[in-house]
Each structure stands twice: as C-alpha cells, then as structure tokens.
C-alpha cells in the first residue's frame, strides 16, 4: 500500500464520520448574501485558507475542483457560477463523493438560489484527471497537493495545466513550511495525509509551479497554520507550518522567466515627473506600483537612491507591472 492509498483511507474515514479539527481553517469562512452552508458541510471543511476569489470568477467560468471534501468550496464557487455543470468536482474516494453529494442536496434545501445541477461530481484522481484538455477556466485545490511527494506533485500540476484554457488559473491553498521537517515525519503516511508533514518551503513549491509552465504566479495570502512540537511529534525543535494561497495563471512564459508577485511595490520619490525604466514600467512620484519579484530585482539593481522597493507583503491580488 502506498501513501496515496493511506491518504484515501484517511479521507474515507473523514467522509463517514466528520472530523471537525482535521484541518485548520486559516481564514474566515466566506459569508455571501443568501448563502447558507449546511452544518455537516461546515464540519467537513478539511481545507486551509480559501480558493474562492470573486476576481477569478467573472465571465461565466467553468470551475474544476480537485479533492472535494464536504463540498463547501464547490457550493461557494456555484454561488458565483449558477449554471448547470459549471463546477466540476473530482475525488477518488467514493465515500467522500457520496458525502459531498448529500451535503450539496442539503444545501439545495437551504439555499433558494442553488440547484445541485450546478455541480457535477466525478470519481477521478488528481494524477489522471477525467477532464478534457483546455476546457477549464478556474481550477482549484485546497489542502491536497501538499500531501503529494515530488513525482506526484509534478504530475498533479501538469494535469491541472493540461485541463486549463490559455490564461486559465489554478487557485490553491496549501500548507508550506520553511523549517526542516525530519525525514521520519515526512515518511509518516498518516501525518502526510493529514497535511502535517508534506509541506514544502514556498520557493520550492513556486519553482515546481513555474516549471510546469505557469507564466504568472500571485501569492495572495500567507498565514500561520500549525506548530508541530515534542512530545507529540518527537521533533528536536518546534516546526512552524504556514498556509499559503497561490494563483498560478497559464500565461505564456516570458523569455526572461516567470512573473511571480509576492506583494512587492516600487515607489519613486525623486524630483522628476516620473521614472521610466524603458521596459514598460513607469513610476509616478510617490505612487506605489505593484511589481513582480523579477522587476523588483531589476529596479533594485539600478542602485538608485530615489526608488524604494518594498518587502514582500505576501498579499497580492492584481494590478501592477507585467
């Protein structure tokens, strides 16, 4: 049996009996007008952060959601899409699909605007998605990919990339960890399945995303998630885990590498009317321009005393340089 089977077993149990503390929600649950989330769906919120961002959901998108859990985010996506089959949910665990379907049926009773035909649920695996090439506008996963080891993570990212239309986006929320996680914990299949020991350092995760081909990446939020400490986890030092929300956009890869926005801004405070770097970035006095890390580094390398580059805020949701 591999860790992938252990993962499915963990979520089989969590489908049959909701496990309220299984994951750690790191952001408030979206409250939307006339949205009522059934109690059991809430109890089965096995994600961290959110993948639901109104800015991604204009123009009647088709949404793919991988690893459905209790269905809360599928319902939230459907709040925006409101068309038959506009949210496609994929999960390999029969019992999870069934629980999700029941929760959505309950949601239909509680929400006059919601029709369960808006969501279609299918048995399938993140590593081999039963979804056509280039058919999806927004793909989402919450607290699943961190469980995968490198080869599977690579495959899961490639599968999402394949299903996305050009300029489509992968929106994800997952734990990350900058502290070293002892090999013993990394190899603990149950801990990994519980999103506690597979987390990668952010830069490594970002490299895997951009290596897949995503030309633009946004870091939308970065939040404290968990501490793993002795004696429960037998670690010499407490391990600090964070959660991160990332949007990876299937834009063409720029010749000089991906644009990764981590929330940096450039501010020109010289005496001229503006500063123009000749590469499409015009800075007006004292008006922050959101810049990707590549542009931030290029501007910093100019060594000008009248350009300030802010640190990463890890909060970026659009606008700016590229």
Ligand X SMILES: C[S@@+](CC[C@H](N)C(=O)[O-])C[C@H]1O[C@@H](n2cnc3c(N)ncnc32)[C@H](O)[C@@H]1O
From the CB of 223, what's the least distance to ligand X, in Å? 15
Torsion angle (degrees, nearest 10) of CA 8, 12, 17, 22: 10
Query: Is residue 233 near ligand X by the rule CB under 6 A?
Result: no
Of 24, 63, 96, 228, the one binding ligand X (CB under 6 A) is 96
From the CB of 83, what's the least distance to ligand X, in Å? 22
Q: Give me the phi and psi of 165, to 5 degrees please.
A: -70, 160
Of 41, 63, 64, 68, the one binding ligand X (CB under 6 A) is 68
Helix, strand or coil for residue 225?
Answer: strand
Cα 280 to the center of its chain, rounded Å: 29
From the CB of 64, what's the least distance to ligand X, in Å? 11
- 119/144 with CB nearer ligand X: 144
Of 93, 206, 244, 266, the one binding ligand X (CB under 6 A) is 93
Number of alpha helices (DSSP H) and beta strands (DSSP E) in the chain: 9, 13
Q: Choose the binding region for ligand X from 7-15, 26-34, 231-239, 284-292 (rule: CB under 6 A).
A: 7-15
Of 18, 38, 61, 67, the one binding ligand X (CB under 6 A) is 67
Torsion angle (degrees, nearest 10) of CA 293, 296, 301, 304: -170
Binding mask 134-173 for ligand X (x = CB under 6 A): --------xxx-----------------------------
The answer to whether the CB of 263 falls within 8 A of the CB of 316 is yes
- 92/263 with CB nearer ligand X: 92
* Gyration radius of the chain's alpha carbons: 21
- 228/283 with CB nearer ligand X: 228
**Residue closest to ligand X, measured at CB:** 47
For 259-295, the DSSP string reads EEESSEEEEE-SSSS-EE-SSS-EE-BT--EEE-HHH
Cα 103 to the center of its chain, rounded Å: 23
Burial state string for 236-255 with b = 16 or more CB within 10 A and e = fewer than 16: eeebebbbbbbbbbbbeeee
Query: Is residue 245 near ligand X by the rule CB under 6 A?
Result: no
Q: Choose the binding region for ligand X from 26-34, 68-76, 202-210, 220-228 (rule: CB under 6 A).
A: 68-76
Q: Choose the binding region for ligand X from 123-131, 197-205, 226-234, 283-291 (rule: CB under 6 A).
A: 123-131
- Among the listed residues 72, 87, 13, 83, the one whose alpha carbon sits nearest the alpha carbon of residue 39: 72
Helix, strand or coil for residue 234?
Answer: coil
Of 38, 47, 61, 198, the one binding ligand X (CB under 6 A) is 47
Q: Which residues bind ligand X (CB under 6 A)?
A: 4, 7-8, 11, 23, 45-47, 66-70, 73, 91-93, 96, 125-127, 142-144, 195
């Amino acid at each position: 049996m591999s860790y992938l089977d252990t993962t499915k077993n963990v979520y089989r149990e969590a489908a049959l009996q909701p496990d309220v503390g299984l994951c750690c929600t790191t952001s408030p649950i979206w409250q939307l007008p006339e949205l009522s989330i059934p109690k059991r769906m809430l109890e089965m919120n096995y994600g961290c952060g959110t993948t639901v961002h109104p800015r991604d959901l204009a123009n009647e998108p088709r949404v793919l959601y991988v690893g459905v859990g209790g269905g809360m985010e599928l319902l939230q996506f459907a709040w925006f899409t409101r068309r038959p089959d506009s949210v496609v949910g994929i999960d390999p665990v029969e019992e999870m699909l069934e629980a999700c379907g029941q929760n959505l049926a309950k949601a239909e009773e509680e929400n006059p605007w919601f029709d369960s035909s808006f969501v279609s649920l299918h048995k399938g695996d993140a590593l081999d998605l039963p979804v056509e090439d280039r058919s999806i506008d927004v793909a989402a996963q919450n607290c699943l990919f961190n469980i995968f080891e490198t080869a599977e993570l690579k495959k899961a990212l490639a599968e999402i990339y394949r299903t996305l239309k050009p300029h489509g986006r992968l929106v994800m929320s997952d734990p990350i960890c900058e502290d070293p996680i002892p090999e013993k914990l990394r190899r603990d299949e149950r801990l990994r399945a519980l999103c506690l020991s597979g987390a990668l350092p952010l830069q490594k995760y970002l490299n895997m995303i951009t290596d897949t081909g995503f030309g633009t990446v946004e870091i939308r939020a970065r939040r404290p998630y968990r501490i793993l400490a002795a004696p429960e986890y037998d670690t010499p030092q407490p391990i600090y885990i964070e959660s991160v929300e990332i949007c990876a956009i299937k834009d063409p890869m720029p010749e000089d590498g991906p644009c990764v926005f981590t929330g940096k801004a450039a501010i020109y405070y010289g005496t001229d009317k503006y500063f123009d770097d000749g590469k499409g970035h015009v800075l007006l006095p004292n008006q922050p321009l959101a810049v990707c890390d590549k542009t931030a580094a290029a501007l910093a390398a100019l060594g000008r005393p009248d350009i300030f580059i802010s640190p990463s805020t890890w909060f970026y949701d659009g606008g700016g340089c590229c």
